[in-house]
Amino acid sequence: MSTPATASLDEIARRCIHCGLCLSECPTYLEVGSEPDSPRGRIQLMRHLADGALAPTPAVRTHLDRCLDCRACEAACPSDVRYGELIEHARGALLAAPAEHPPALERRLVDWVVHEILPYPRRCAALLGAARAAGTLGLTSLLRRSSWLAARFPALRQALDLLPDRSDRRRAGDSVPHAAPPTGTRRVILFRGCVTSVLTPRTAGNVQRLLVHHGCAVDVPEGQVCCGAIHYHSGRRFEARQFARANLAALAGDEPIVTFAAGCGAMLRQYAALFAGEPDDSARAAALAARVVDVSQVLLPLEPAKPLARVPLRVSYHDACHHAHAQRLRTPPRQLLVRIPGLELLPCAESDVCCGAAGSYNLLQPRIAGQLARRKLACLNESGAALAAAGNVGCILHLRAAARRAGSGLRIAHFADILALACGLDTNPDWS
């Protein structure tokens, strides 16, 4: 099995000195406890797959499929092993290699939804509409209670749990289809994302209102599409590049590009690596990546239009992997939250251990994703918080589903929604 970039990938893999410092940071190693489910073990598997010493057997595929691509190992590595690049190339190579057994029907259905529906907002909205119609007929709750479905089709059962409830219903002014009134002086481009803008339009609207409230003139260019992360992380590099090329055209300019989903921000910053070996696109991609900022980074140095209202809440913070590890971004969201009068920010153990959402991981690996969600909920509950804040829609929906399943009263919200409440921009939030 080989990829066009095998030589440079081998060079990256050879940097691994087998020190094992990454093991205690790896969520799957923490849960499964075996070397092939650790970063060090997977690097060995990927090297042997690349040099042909190992065949892509079902067992090998399982160990690599179990990787969350959370990149916690990369952040912990003293030897600069760029693990993310290794696993993404390996997934592409596995996809191209003939499998011993064809994927099961459920896996093919999930793959189709993940790659052909979710990245396209209109298709995603149609699916969500159909799911909501089923919900009003009582079908969703019936299916959620079905032990047969949970045992036979765990991924579909998981997908039902992830459907947003009341809290993310669209209100007037939600979603981000419009340029804001030209009142601000600091021009920014808002990247709305695909799934995020459909599943959490309220957060998307709040982010746009927050930027305006802090003096920004917000442009939301037409023509922007999914960042490509969904395809890139599953090894579909060709499709990821198509999305990226559309975004390179739509987001042209020199204004900061503001993201409010950790996964989108990390992917846009990775565009240069996506076009490695293609000098023209790679240079444009690097220029775009340098303009990408998280909404927390933009808001932090700016003053709101009026003083923040009191929000007497005990809050803890969950670091999304693609904030903490991929973008090394931890403090700005916390600094925004501690400014809010009355809000108490409580420390959380293992705040940067993956919650199990990891893009489509919670659909494809529901068992480990469920274990990680329970581990995260235990830490958040232990913190004493009534509300957990995060900066990634995938984590938020996954943890809300886990909290519902566990009968926990813990609520989960995007940090921008909490700030919008303090700014008087969202007066009736519902984070259940």
- Indicate whether 211 belongs to the interface with ligand SF4 (CB under 6 A): no
Minimum CB–partner distance for residue 370 and ligand SF4 (Å)? 15
Does the footprint of ligand SF4 cover residue 16 (CB under 6 A)?
yes
Q: d(Cα 326, Cα 329) in Å, to the nearest integer? A: 8
Enumerate the β-bridge partners of residue 292: 257
Per rule CB under 6 A, count of chain residues that contact ligand SF4: 27
Q: Does the footprint of ligand SF4 cover residue 263 (CB under 6 A)?
A: no
d(CA 381, CA 368): 20
217 neighbors 96 (Cβ within 8 angstroms) = no
3-state secondary structure of 258: strand
Q: How far is the CB of 352 from ligand SF4 (least distance, A)?
A: 11
Q: Please provide the DSSP assignment of 189-218 as one string.
A: EE---SHHHHH-HHHHHHHHHHHHHTTEEE
Return the number of the residue (61 or 157) whose C-beta is nearest ligand SF4. Answer: 61
Strands (DSSP E) found in 331-426: 344-346, 387-390, 411-414
Q: Please identify, using beta-carbon distances, which residue of 38 and 316 lies nearer to ligand SF4.
A: 38
At residue 36, what is the residue type? P
Of 36 and 201, the one with the shorter C-beta distance to ligand SF4 is 36
* Window contacting ligand SF4 (CB under 6 A); options: 25-33, 93-101, 368-376, 394-402: 25-33
The 10 Å CB-count burial string (b at 16+, else e) for 76-110 is bbeeebbbbbbbbbbbbbbeeeeeeeeeeeeeebb
The tokens 């990149």 sit on which residue?
A: 71
Site string for ligand SF4, 29-58 (x = CB under 6 A): ----------xx-xx---------------
Interface with ligand SF4, residue 20, by CB under 6 A: yes
The alpha-carbon radius of gyration of the chain (Å, integer) is 21
Please report whether residue 73 would count as binding ligand SF4 according to CB under 6 A: yes
**Residue 262 lies near ligand SF4 (rule: CB under 6 A):** no
Should residue 21 be labelled a site residue for ligand SF4 when binding is judged by CB under 6 A? Answer: yes
Residue 13 is a binding residue for ligand SF4 (CB under 6 A): no
314 phi, psi to nearest 5 deg: -95, 115
CB of 23 to ligand SF4, least distance (A): 7
Q: Is residue 328 within the footprint of ligand SF4 (CB under 6 A)?
A: no
Q: Does residue 257 contact residue 251 with C-beta atoms inside 8 Å?
A: yes
83 forms part of the interface with ligand SF4 (CB under 6 A): yes
Part of the chain binding ligand SF4 (CB under 6 A), chosen from 4-12, 72-80, 88-96, 144-152: 72-80
Is position 79 an interface residue for ligand SF4 (rule: CB under 6 A)?
yes
Q: Position 305: which residue type? A: A
CB of 173 to ligand SF4, least distance (A): 38
Contact residues for ligand SF4, defined by CB under 6 A:
16-22, 25-28, 39-40, 42-43, 67-73, 76-77, 79, 81, 83
